[in-house]
Structure 1
Amino acid sequence: MRRFPLVPLVLGIALAVSLTTPALAGPSADPAPGPGIGPDARLRAAAAVNGMSATRLERLLERDPAARLDRGGRLFYRDTAKAGAAGGAESGGPTTSARAVPAAPFPYAETFTLHSRPGSNRTIYLDFDGHSVVDTAWNDQAGVQARNYPGLSLDASATFSDAERDIVQDVWLRVSEDFAPYDVDVTTQDPGRAGLTRDSSGDQVFGVRALVTPVNWCGGGCLGVAYVDVFDKVSSTGYFQPAWAFSDEVDNDPIQIAETITHEVGHTLALNHDGQNSGSAYYVGHGIWSPVMGAAYGALTQFSKGEYVDPDNLQDDLAVMAKSGIAYRQDDHTVPTGAPLSRAVTGVIGRRTDTDTFAVTQGCAGPFTATASPAPRGPNLDIRLTLRSADGSLVSSNDPPSGRGANDFEAVGLDAQVTSSNLPAGSYTLEIDGVGAGNPRSTGYSDYGSIGGYSLDVDASCAVAAAPTQLNSLTGSATPTSVTATWRPPTSNGGSAVTGYLLTFGGTTVSLAADAREHTFTGLAPGTDYALRVHAVNAVGAGPERAISVRTPATRPGAARIRDAVAGSPGGKVTAKARWRAPLESGGSTRTRYKLRALRVDSSGDVVGRKTVTVDPDRRKKVVKLAPGRYVFRVRAVNAVGAGPWSPKSNRVRAR
């Protein structure tokens, strides 16, 4: 009889439990079979929990020893070094040795406020300072102790040292690069419950917590653990979080911590392991390359679709993740833009079909050098840089051979450079493309996973400065009476420093200083669309505009204006007629009705009764049937936002 790995009943001990036992049953939010049901029914129930066929689940459990089912039948992975994930003799990968961690590139004070894509609706939170794991599936279904799990630490101190902050920043850079093609914010700043949990299918702001902790509850050799396909699962408590990375198991090495995090987050985004039918469930790779979802500790690790020899998993990693919670980011360079002539421009190759093109003007015959470099830590992009003339003819192209650097876990030769000692004057374009190398089946890799961030720098002694390029971003926020524009500087200053910004709004143009990043316009009308255009300016002139439309939110209408009321008794009925004018302020939303209130008052003016009626929005008077007595009237306008204030009281009338 086949035996399937289930959740260990004693932490750190992986038990193989037969499906003839009731081990799959237990408390769970998901349906699970009860005791006495046969193994086939249990397998089908577990398959249904995980949204896959019973045959597929059976094969996965048979061939991958890292795959586990918790008591509710949900799939998770217990990733181990022995399976090849940490390199070393058992995996055939490079050996692990102590490496000096580069100094943090950002001020230490910013270590826990880093964001790769601020403002994104999706978040991957790198949690280094500890977290209380209570009332989660890990506790209820996998038997993990409910407690506070401490964060990364090189010593016994609760305060983060500079050395620890070096590790945090290094890990953040590497994980950010892995997910650079997606609209997801990799951050070290806690986004709070709302940023990580999904309350309903309509909730579009959510993410995952990747907890880095030295407390390895799953046993020696275990590097990380994560549930599968839960990133976009609806759960107001984040029931299937966190994804785990055990820092002490890799001696706090930032490269291995980062690779573990990306691997485990990949599981939450529905990715399974990349192995071989005839080998390990973790493919160790070949040459300098290894797959992220295999033993991802080569010099160059990339997401894969099983292009190597004898793959057991043909998942298109990039497409699967894009359907499982994180969408592709918008292309950042869709048309040729002016390349930087005095500083680097940055960008992202987001897909294998993406080529970024930049325009460069050479003002005279002279030296010219352009250098394109991938992300500085853990790059995934292998670059080919091409220089073309204005008619598209090839001038020069460069794609140096890639290889393993002095550090076994870092690749070299991913950058590219084109140079000329005497480039003729004229207009040119520079193209950046991600490329592969060698045979992806056995010696190299294709351009499938060759995507990620880059910087481009142009050094040309007689290059001609141009106006700045379009702003990198422009967003607007509004209150009923104000609009605030916020922007990021242009990708390129055109070779001349930005001297300021021009904001055009409602026919008015405002000039701002070079360090300005936002501006607020006040005194606006509610419920109104406003066009906003912003240009960066340098010594050459104003660059192309970036334009948006911002609508101020509507508000409640102003006070209606009451007029004199009159009383009468036509046909013997006791009535009074109230009259009013529309409010001067509509609130930016069409009126839907009026509320008219007749207040019965005694001789001293105190209210002793009231009657309220609804009046059509186009009416300005209303005859109200009343009981005999003294009355004053008040009226209020109502729109889609709500009711405005009551008007002052009308004159007093006697209905009799």
Structure 2
Amino acid sequence: MGVRSFRVLVARAFVAATVGAAAIGAPGAAQAAPTTGLLDLTCAQALLQQTTRLSAALQSGLSEAVVRLLNNLTGDQVEHLAADSTSWLDECGRVFVADEGIEPAQRVTADPAPRDAVPTDVFTLSSRPGSTRTIYLDFDGATYSGTRWKSGAEIVSPAYSIDADRATFSEVERAQVYLAWQTVAEDYAPFDVNVTTLRPDPSALTRTSSADLTYGIPVVVSPTNSVGTGCGCGGLSYVGIFGTVGATDYQPAWIFTNGSGTGGYNVGQIISHEVGHTFGLSHDGTSQASYYAGAKGWAPIMGASYNRRASHWSTGEYADANNTEDDTAIIARTAPVVADDHASSPSAATGLTAGTPVAGTITTRTDTDAFSFSAYGRTALTVSGPAGYSDLDARLTILSPQGATIATVDPTADVSDDASMAATWLVDLPATAASYVAVVDGTGVGAPSEVGRYSDYGSLGAYTVSLSTGGSTATPLATPTTSTTTTSVQAIAFVTTRLPRARAGAAYRAAIRFRGPVSEARVDWRLPRGLKWKVVDDRIVIHGRVRASSAGRFATVLSGQDRSVRRVFRLVVRR
């Protein structure tokens, strides 16, 4: 009964499996995960003559009950998937998703290098090496045969590459691989799963029985769609196969950079999206669109989070959401939430010493971490996630030894950026040292029903808390009184949030304005060829003549006495 051949499908499709999972309770402790079994994984008899869009198959008479049974879905989930044009059935009746690629003008070739040093070997990275669950990011080429993809034929996927040389990885390419890995590792930081670029033993990706707790999913990142004919797709993945016994033939998930772009951040975003489908997650869309792209720097991971600074797992709290499934609870069915690393009670707070940063992870919306410290004089206590890709929007609450709130620091911005997602308590304390407690929490911005705003639901992930104290003060203050927000940390900020478009061959000039006690302002990553920059008073001036049409990003940094602020700008060059 099919509506079009698999090759034609893939030529027009775009990646991201969208299977919904049944409503589940809150995640439990890290223990044996339940098995989620598909029926008749061997597919002894084909159900369809060819790959068929799910909606067309149902309209042609295929029983919804059969789809539910074959894929462990509820009736509501089948209905939701059928309303999404990216949902397909293979010949055996298994659901997979073909996700749209990003618009060419939005594709990024290369993001600025990560702030921390890029390792020489980016193919041995592991986020949680002690975990028995694995998300394997395969960037260096792969060959598969005998899978459900391409009817079992051999599939040879070339290595990820930005340039024409696919035999070696350049410095820029290694930086993109590193950033993609960092992005995915951050998205899955709350869960007991290892995001790795180190090729594991095949047994680490295969679940043989419900007692087998060692399993995972490989994700192949390749320049072109080697599964079918070439296209501008973002990728492909089967729905709900992570942790399913005997589902190895439905691996891997696929990412195609000719549809997603080669920039590490967006590659990481679509990897997290595709892996989310393998966990059983559906698309976050609206009544009018399969994907919700968010606004003001934020978007849901299972929507279209390309180029968004803040991307979160979602429960459909935004306006006109068509999917209210509990993303984190669904993931936790087969990759449980990790154990809490820091107590929430001030009486059991982790000790914090000046000059020695401490790492932590906010794992759920109810998780808070407490830190005790002694401070005097000029004091700065900062909590921030990894620059450029953190999921945690941090709120910092300072308590007295008696538990009274001294200050709450929760910066906000109209468009999410590194500064608005971090928090710093900067204060002049009395000369005599006193004890305090800092409580770290994930927070949101505004009402999630407002455009570009979000709750604390997906404000999760890794962070570092650091303390400096004992600096000289011009006028020592009396014992601090209760306040809601402090500090000169918020004084240093970018006023300009986006740049005007440039035209290839034409003169270009734009100003990036900033405010606050800035001692240094600079561009931290090369501009498009033909452009230069200089600092004039309270602005960074970009000027010159761009030689070719393109779309890229570059980073700028503002530094002051107590902190620095980094912001990535996107510049589109038209013909």
- Number of the residue aligned with 1:311: 321
Runs of 5+ consecutive residues of structure 1 not aligned to the other structure: 16-25, 90-94, 464-656
1:136 aligns with 2:147: yes
1:221 aligns with 2:241: no
Higher deviation after alignment, 444-453 or 248-257? 248-257
- Number of the residue aligned with 1:459: 468
- Number of the residue aligned with 2:69: 48
- Number of the residue aligned with 1:175: 184
Instruction: Give how far 1:378 is off.
Output: 1.1
- Number of the residue aligned with 2:400: 389
Q: 1:428 to 1:172 in 2, by over 3 A?
A: same
* Structure 2 Cα separation of the partners of residues 134 and 181 of structure 1: 34
- Number of the residue aligned with 2:282: 272
- Number of the residue aligned with 2:429: 422
- The aligned amino acid for 1:359 is S
1:369-380 alignment to 2 at 5 Å?
A: 369-380=380-391
1:247 aligns with 2:257: yes
C-alpha contact (below 8 Å) 2:158/2:166 kept by paired residues: no
* Structure 1 Cα separation of the partners of residues 4 and 321 of structure 2: 25
C-alpha contact (below 8 Å) 2:108/2:263 kept by paired residues: no
Q: How much identity, in percent, do the aligned residues show? A: 35
- Number of the residue aligned with 2:556: none
- 1:461 is paired with a residue of what secondary structure? strand
- The aligned amino acid for 1:213 is S
* Structure 2 Cα separation of the partners of residues 210 and 87 of structure 1: 22
* Structure 2 Cα separation of the partners of residues 280 and 6 of structure 1: 23
Instruction: Give how far 1:208 is off.
Output: 0.5
Q: 1:166 to 1:59 in 2, by over 3 A?
A: closer
* Structure 1 Cα separation of the partners of residues 315 and 329 of structure 2: 9
C-alpha contact (below 8 Å) 2:377/2:469 kept by paired residues: yes
1:449 aligns with 2:458: yes
1:355 aligns with 2:368: yes
Instruction: Give how far 1:10 is off.
Output: 4.1
1:39-188 alignment to 2 at 5 Å?
A: 39-54=60-75, 56-61=77-82, 63-81=83-101, 86=102, 95-102=106-113, 105-106=116-117, 108-140=119-151, 145-154=153-162, 155-188=164-197
- Number of the residue aligned with 1:553: none
C-alpha contact (below 8 Å) 1:126/1:188 kept by paired residues: yes
The alignment's C-alpha RMSD in Å is 2.7
* Structure 2 Cα separation of the partners of residues 55 and 415 of structure 1: 39
- The aligned amino acid for 1:12 is V
1:368 to 379, 396, 400: 379
C-alpha contact (below 8 Å) 1:122/1:183 kept by paired residues: yes
* Structure 2 Cα separation of the partners of residues 227 and 96 of structure 1: 25
The structure having more radius of gyration, on CA atoms, is 1
* Structure 1 Cα separation of the partners of residues 370 and 146 of structure 2: 51
* Structure 2 Cα separation of the partners of residues 171 and 361 of structure 1: 38
- 2:323 is paired with a residue of what secondary structure? coil
- 1:306 is paired with a residue of what secondary structure? coil
- Number of the residue aligned with 1:191: 200
C-alpha contact (below 8 Å) 1:27/1:71 kept by paired residues: no
* Structure 2 Cα separation of the partners of residues 57 and 158 of structure 1: 43
Runs of 5+ consecutive residues of structure 2 not aligned to the other structure: 14-39, 50-56, 473-575
- Number of the residue aligned with 1:344: 357
Q: 1:59 to 1:247 in 2, by over 3 A?
A: closer
Q: Which has the higher contact order (CA 8 A, sep 6+)?
A: 2
1:250-261 alignment to 2 at 5 Å?
A: 250-261=260-271
Instruction: Give how far 1:132 is off.
Output: 0.8
Normalized per residue, which structure has more strand? 1
Instruction: Give how far 1:32 is off.
Output: 5.2
* Structure 2 Cα separation of the partners of residues 284 and 374 of structure 1: 23
- 2:6 is paired with a residue of what secondary structure? coil
* Structure 1 Cα separation of the partners of residues 366 and 319 of structure 2: 24
- 1:160 is paired with a residue of what secondary structure? coil
- 1:459 is paired with a residue of what secondary structure? strand
* Structure 2 Cα separation of the partners of residues 57 and 6 of structure 1: 21
C-alpha contact (below 8 Å) 1:389/1:427 kept by paired residues: yes
- Number of the residue aligned with 2:10: 12
- Number of the residue aligned with 2:504: none
- Number of the residue aligned with 1:472: none
C-alpha contact (below 8 Å) 1:304/1:449 kept by paired residues: yes
Q: 1:210 to 1:5 in 2, by over 3 A?
A: farther
Instruction: Give how far 1:341 is off.
Output: 1.3
Deviation string 1:277-335 (CA, Å, 9 cap, x unpaired) is 2x101011133221110111222110100001121111100001111x21101111124
1:477-496 alignment to 2 at 5 Å?
A: none
Deviation string 1:602-655 (CA, Å, 9 cap, x unpaired) is xxxxxxxxxxxxxxxxxxxxxxxxxxxxxxxxxxxxxxxxxxxxxxxxxxxxxx
* Structure 1 Cα separation of the partners of residues 76 and 459 of structure 2: 33
* Structure 2 Cα separation of the partners of residues 354 and 27 of structure 1: 39
- The aligned amino acid for 2:422 is D
Instruction: Give how far 1:369 is off.
Output: 1.1
C-alpha contact (below 8 Å) 1:245/1:260 kept by paired residues: yes
* Structure 1 Cα separation of the partners of residues 403 and 301 of structure 2: 37
Deviation string 1:339-395 (CA, Å, 9 cap, x unpaired) is 131121111001110110001023xx4221101111224111101111111011111
Q: 1:215 to 1:104 in 2, by over 3 A?
A: farther
* Structure 2 Cα separation of the partners of residues 7 and 378 of structure 1: 39
1:205 aligns with 2:214: yes
* Structure 2 Cα separation of the partners of residues 306 and 4 of structure 1: 33
Deviation string 1:382-411 (CA, Å, 9 cap, x unpaired) is 011111110111112211113437xxxx65
* Structure 2 Cα separation of the partners of residues 322 and 399 of structure 1: 29
* Structure 2 Cα separation of the partners of residues 5 and 387 of structure 1: 61
Deviation string 1:413-466 (CA, Å, 9 cap, x unpaired) is 100001221245221101111000012012300000001010111001279xxx
Instruction: Give how far 1:247 is off.
Output: 1.8
- 1:259 is paired with a residue of what secondary structure? helix
Instruction: Give how far 1:215 is off.
Output: 2.1
Instruction: Give how far 1:97 is off.
Output: 4.9
Q: 1:166 to 1:222 in 2, by over 3 A?
A: same
Q: 1:411 to 1:275 in 2, by over 3 A?
A: farther
TM-score after normalising by structure 2? 0.70
* Structure 2 Cα separation of the partners of residues 199 and 28 of structure 1: 14
* Structure 2 Cα separation of the partners of residues 169 and 59 of structure 1: 35
C-alpha contact (below 8 Å) 2:398/2:437 kept by paired residues: yes
C-alpha contact (below 8 Å) 2:125/2:197 kept by paired residues: yes
* Structure 2 Cα separation of the partners of residues 190 and 101 of structure 1: 26
C-alpha contact (below 8 Å) 1:226/1:267 kept by paired residues: yes
Number of residue equivalences: 428
- Number of the residue aligned with 1:413: 420
2:444 to 436, 448, 455: 436
Instruction: Give how far 1:111 is off.
Output: 1.2
- 1:167 is paired with a residue of what secondary structure? helix
- The aligned amino acid for 1:29 is C
- Number of the residue aligned with 1:29: 43
* Structure 1 Cα separation of the partners of residues 48 and 428 of structure 2: 78
Q: 1:45 to 1:319 in 2, by over 3 A?
A: same
- Number of the residue aligned with 2:301: 292
- 1:358 is paired with a residue of what secondary structure? strand
Instruction: Give how far 1:60 is off.
Output: 2.0
